[in-house]
């Protein structure tokens, strides 16, 4: 069910994109031959005026087919007969529609959940942020020299710098102060005790909130409320102490002493190997605000801008090799992520909010990606229109079609590569 929901959700995003092309083409009096929901063989269709509206067999995506778009046409209402700015507007309308719908969705979400600020609301004692001198009430201005507009910016910048020590600028009591932050690096290949802590750092970080095996037939002996005080003969008082011990111990069985209802119990636990994403701990939480039309719209626009800017940084880091291509997700990974986000949400309202949040995030990504001047993407078509305007001469349709074909082949290869990544991660749990 979750996979089906993911497929439908991804298709909605692509249909919204194509709807942008369709609406502006109609408003520009361009002859639209077909508007299709989904791809592949045609299931059924209906013709209204000059346009065929069809539903196809493969439940993914859709397309708009215009007269004179892929080949020269002498029809006065053909795409290729329209002025340059009109054609550019039709092409740009797809990504713009993705942005517009994403912003409207974010406004709706923020009006219900409230908005995030860059003011620190919590600093965990013993965390890297605490050791760096960050405190509640500080407003983070820059991380590693880059301006911070939204808390999500920090997560991206930490990942992009691979957890390297960086300078952080904060606004404190009206003054800008700078401090050095050294995130805790949590290795990709690591061993876990198999419990969910009450906190990542400080008080409660060595206390069991839940057993990681709670929904399986396995039982490693942990119970909610257990306070882990020793690993073998080593005293521990925080999650950081436990992680440091695990780095040395690896997968060897451990005598875990816990304090339960005032009494010590000794458990024998075999660590769990984990090959998840490399993580970087900081130990801060941010304040949220709510209420008011103008603040809601303002912070929604900030969030949308932040997502768009972070897409830009991610693309640059992929090109420069700072981020591995293996981190890219294709259709399988996106569908799986959407399904997981919805399935793991506890209530119907949470499921809806998390689904819409994911769709707005992917929608902005889709819009940005399509504006890249890469063959077969909208960005390349806009670039070719610009070149035509500079040359004062139309580019031969066969050459434009060849460029699009090459780009299409490369995109298919990229889709195959990302699909392999997605399936590999699904199989290995990485």
Alpha-helix residue ranges (DSSP H) falling in 114-169? 128-131, 151-160
User: In whole angstroms, how far apart are CA 44 and each of 53, 56, 254?
Assistant: 9, 7, 63
Task: Report residue 375 as tokens.
Answer: 């063959």
Query: What backbone phi and psi angles, to 5 degrees, belong to 252?
Result: -70, 140
Q: What is the pLDDT of residue 418?
A: 63
Distance CA 299, CA 187 (A): 34
Q: What is the pLDDT of residue 328?
A: 62
304 and 99 Cβ atoms separated by less than 8 Å: yes
- Correct CATH for 189-275 of 2.60.120.10, 2.30.42.10, 3.30.750.24, 3.40.50.2300: 2.30.42.10
Q: What is the pLDDT of residue 202?
A: 85
424 and 324 Cβ atoms separated by less than 8 Å: no
Contact partners, residue 405, CB within 8 Å, separation at least 6: 376
Alpha-helix residue ranges (DSSP H) falling in 321-396? 331-343, 348-370, 378-391
Q: What is the pLDDT of residue 171?
A: 96
Q: What is the pLDDT of residue 420?
A: 61
Q: Nearest Cα to 53, choosing from 76, 305, 44?
A: 44
Task: Report residue 164 as tokens.
Answer: 């390297």
Rg (CA), the chain: 26
Tell me how long the chain is. 430
The strand ranges marked E within 193-340 are: 195-197, 208-211, 227-231, 234-235, 254-260, 263-269, 272-275, 279-281, 284-289
- What are the sequence ranges of the domains in the chain? 189-275
Segment-wise mean pLDDT, segments of 10 residues, the chain, 430 residues: 70 91 96 92 94 89 88 89 95 96 96 94 92 96 95 90 92 95 88 88 90 68 93 93 93 94 92 81 92 92 93 82 65 64 75 87 90 88 92 79 75 66 55
Distance CA 113, CA 105 (A): 12
Q: Nearest Cα to 93, choosing from 19, 31, 20, 13?
A: 20
Contact partners, residue 84, CB within 8 Å, separation at least 6: 385, 388, 389
User: In whole angstroms, how far apart are CA 96 and each of 49, 66, 211, 270, 369?
Assistant: 27, 19, 46, 52, 12
Q: What is the pLDDT of residue 393?
A: 86
Distance CA 239, CA 259 (A): 15
Q: What is the pLDDT of residue 98?
A: 95
Q: Nearest Cα to 337, choosing from 378, 365, 375?
A: 365
Distance CA 238, CA 286 (A): 22
Distance CA 248, CA 236 (A): 14
pTM of the model: 0.82
Q: What is the pLDDT of residue 421?
A: 62
């Amino acid at each position: 069910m979750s996979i089906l929901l993911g497929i439908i959700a991804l298709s909605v995003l692509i249909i919204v994109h194509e709807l942008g092309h369709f609406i502006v083409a109609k408003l520009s009096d361009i002859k639209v031959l077909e508007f299709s929901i989904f791809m592949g063989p045609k299931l059924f269709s209906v013709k209204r005026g000059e346009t065929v509206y069809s539903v196809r067999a493969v439940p993914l995506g859709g397309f708009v087919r215009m007269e004179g778009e892929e080949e020269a046409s002498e029809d006065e209402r053909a795409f290729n007969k329209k002025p340059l700015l009109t054609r550019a507007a039709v092409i740009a309308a797809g990504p713009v529609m993705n942005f517009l719908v994403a912003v409207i969705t974010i406004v709706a979400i923020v009006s219900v959940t409230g908005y995030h600020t860059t003011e620190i609301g919590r600093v965990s004692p013993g965390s890297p942020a605490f050791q760096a001198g960050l405190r509640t009430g500080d407003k983070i201005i820059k991380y590693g020299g880059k301006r911070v507009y939204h808390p999500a910016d920090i997560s991206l910048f930490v990942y992009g710098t691979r957890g390297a020590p960086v300078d952080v600028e904060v606004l404190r009591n009206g003054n800008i102060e700078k401090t050095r932050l050294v995130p805790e690096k949590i290795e990709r290949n690591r061993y876990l005790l198999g419990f969910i802590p009450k906190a990542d750092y400080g008080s409660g970080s060595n206390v069991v909130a839940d057993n990681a095996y709670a929904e399986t037939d396995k039982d490693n002996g942990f119970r909610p409320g257990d306070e882990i005080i020793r690993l073998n003969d080593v005293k521990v008082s925080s999650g950081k102490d436990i992680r440091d011990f695990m780095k040395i111990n690896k997968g060897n069985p451990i005598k875990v002493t816990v304090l339960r209802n005032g009494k010590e119990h000794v458990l024998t636990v075999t660590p769990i190997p984990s090959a998840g994403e490399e993580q970087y701990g900081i130990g801060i939480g941010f304040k949220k605000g709510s209420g008011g039309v103008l603040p809601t719209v303002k912070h929604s626009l900030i969030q949308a801008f932040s997502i768009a800017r972070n897409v830009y940084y991610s693309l640059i880091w992929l090109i420069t090799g700072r981020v591995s291509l293996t981190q890219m997700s294709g259709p399988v990974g996106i569908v799986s992520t959407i399904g997981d986000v919805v399935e793991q949400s506890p209530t119907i309202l949470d499921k809806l909010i998390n689904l819409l949040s994911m769709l707005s995030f992917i929608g902005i990504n889709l819009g940005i990606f399509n504006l890249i001047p890469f063959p077969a993407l909208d960005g390349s078509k806009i670039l070719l229109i610009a070149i035509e305007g500079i040359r004062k001469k139309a580019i031969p349709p066969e050459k434009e079609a060849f460029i699009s074909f090459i780009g299409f082949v490369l995109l298919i290869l990229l889709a195959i590569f990302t699909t392999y990544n997605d399936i590999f991660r699904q199989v290995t749990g990485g």
